[in-house]
Amino acid sequence: MVMDFNTQHPESYDRWKDCDKLASSTSASQQLTNMTCWAHLLLEPVLIPGGLAVDLTAGNGHDTLFLWSRVGAEGQVLAFDVQSQALLNTSRRLSEAGATVQGVDPGQPVQLHGGGVFLLQACHSYLTQLLDAHPMAVMANLGYLPGGDHGVITHRETTLKALHSAAELLAVGGRLVVTAYPGHAGGAEESRAVLDFFASLDARQWLVLNFCSTNRLQAPLLLVAEKRRAGE
């Protein structure tokens, strides 16, 4: 049976059109493997107005903006980055979009009062020390800041620490989505560790999917895990 996507799933169809727009700067053949687009589509169903989401790597703020656009003005997005330039770029992008943006002191646990975007200049490996709440969505787009210093990259050890923390904090029903890049120096080792982390998640508690381009070895990987029940 051929499914008419438009009439059967009008909302999903709209999302595909959004995705098309998002990928409009790439050629038609690249759109299928645009992992940012897939990451957003995978998070979409768990992002509800008024909810809490975490961006482990704010960068230029594209992902933070996506999360904020879905949790809305009453919702909260906590975004980490180690670079002040990244947080400046994110702050500018979100402010222009109309978000309330606050910088947060990384020296003490985060108090999330009111809706908006909370920016933390801190390593994401401190997630559990800084956040005592249960987000429905956590995302990480690893690697370096596009247009910035390519010497500042995410690293295997701190990434793994952040992913363990994210898995612990995530609300039941929530999703963790990670894009990893094997193509840059250190990226292959980190990507392998991320794959191993997702593979190690308890199948009684987690549903896990691995998206990858099977004919391009250095292409980014996208991993998603959905928490089906609380840990024992």
Ligand X SMILES: C[S@@+](CC[C@H](N)C(=O)[O-])C[C@H]1O[C@@H](n2cnc3c(N)ncnc32)[C@H](O)[C@@H]1O
Q: Which residues bind ligand X (CB under 6 A)?
A: 57, 59-63, 80-83, 86, 123-124, 141, 143-145, 152-154, 158
Q: How far is the CB of 158 from ligand X (least distance, A)?
A: 4
Closest to ligand X by CB, 67 or 136 = 67
In the chain, which ranges are E strands?
52-55, 76-81, 101-104, 116-121, 137-141, 175-180, 206-212, 221-227
Residue 177 or 225: which CB sits closer to ligand X?
Answer: 177
- Token pair for 44: 């979409």
Residue whose beta carbon is closest to ligand X: 59
Nearest CB to ligand X, comparing residues 54 and 225: 54
Minimum distance, C-beta of residue 204 to ligand X, in the bound complex (Å): 30
For β-strands 206-212 and 221-227, DSSP reports them as antiparallel
Here the contacts of 89-96 (C-beta below 8 Å, separation 24 or greater) are 89/59, 89/60, 89/61, 90/58, 90/59, 90/60, 90/61, 90/64, 90/117, 90/119, 91/61, 91/117, 91/119, 92/61, 93/60, 93/61, 93/62, 93/64, 93/65, 94/61, 94/64, 94/65, 94/68
CB of 81 to ligand X, least distance (A): 4
Look at the block and give the residue holding tokens 């840990």: 231
**Distance of closest approach, residue 145 Cβ to ligand X, in angstroms:** 4
65 or 206, CB closer to ligand X? 65
Is the CB of residue 80 less than 8 Å from the CB of residue 139?
no
Nearer to ligand X, 12 or 83 (CB): 83
CB of 37 to ligand X, least distance (A): 12
Cβ atoms of 93 and 53 within 8 Å: the answer is no
Q: Measured from the CB atom, is 145 or 212 closer to ligand X?
A: 145
To the nearest whole angstrom, how small is the minimum distance from the Cβ of residue 121 to ligand X?
9
What would the two tokens of residue 182 be?
């094997």
